[in-house]
Structure 1
Amino acid sequence: MQRVTGIGGIFLRAADPAALRAWYQAHLGIDVQAWGGTAFQWVGADGAPAGGSTVWSIGDGGNFAPGKAFMVNYRVADLDALLATLREEGCEVLDESHDAEYGKFGWVVDPEGNKVELWQPPEGQ
């Protein structure tokens, strides 16, 4: 079974999300959108679109619990199968899951207590 296929997003916790977003926008040129982040579009070596994106976002971290200062979102091919396998392997898989127009989400907690988000994109993406 294929497990992680890429990074879907990186989410940073900040005491003052608006100020930190402004810093990244001003100093690193990240095109921060009204929702608090951006989606970096994937491109191939030739610069042509490669059919995907990685989300980058700064917020208050309210959805990281029980995690810490960040959360990485890993892209997966089959969320349900991977969550079942992780449970069988004795991993701490959170009971909650979420289906949305932009994909399916589930979570596992690593041995250091970091919440790891697993994301299965919609069919064809």
Structure 2
Amino acid sequence: MKRVTGIGGIFFHAKDPVALRAWYARHLGIDVQDWGGAAFAWADDAGKPAGGTTVWSIGASDNQHYAPGSASFMVNYRVADLAALLQVLRDEGCQVLDATEDSEFGKFGWVIDPENNKVELWEPPAGQ
């Protein structure tokens, strides 16, 4: 079974998200949008669109979306079959959170790694 197929997003907590976003925009040239992040389009070796994006976002440090993890970041990994992967992770003894989410953006599930980092697993909607 194929597990992770790419990185769907990288999310950071920040004490001052506005200032941190400005720093990344100024010093690293990230085109930060009004919603607080950027979307990097995937491309092949020739620079042609490859049909996916990686989201990068900075949010307020009081955001509870990372709980029960203890890190100031969360990586979202793109997967092909969320339900199957979550079951395999449970069978392997991983700490898989019971809650899942199914929305217009796809299906989401979470696992806690051995360092207490919350890891987001994302199955995109069909065709993405």
Q: How does 1:94-109 map to 2 (within 5 A)?
A: 94-109=97-112
Tell me the alpha carbon deviations over residues 6-61 of structure 1, each in whole angstroms, 9 at most, x when there is no partner: 11111111101111011111111111111110110011111111111100000125
Sequence identity (%): 70
Whole-angstrom distance in 1 between the partners of 2:41 and 2:91: 35
TM-score normalised per structure 1 = 0.96
Q: CA deviation at 1:66?
A: 1.9
Q: CA deviation at 1:99?
A: 1.0
Identify unmatched segments of 5+ residues in structure 2: none
Residue 45 of structure 1 is matched in structure 2 by 45
Whole-angstrom distance in 1 between the partners of 2:37 and 2:7: 15
Q: CA deviation at 1:80?
A: 0.5
Match for residue 66 of structure 1 among 50, 65, 68: 68
Q: C-alpha root-mean-square deviation of aligned residues, in Å?
A: 0.9
Tell me the alpha carbon deviations over residues 88-107 of structure 1, each in whole angstroms, 9 at most, x when there is no partner: 11110011111111111000
Residue 20 of structure 2 is matched in structure 1 by 20
Residue 120 of structure 1 is matched in structure 2 by 123
AA partner of residue 81 (structure 1): A
TM-score normalised per structure 2 = 0.94
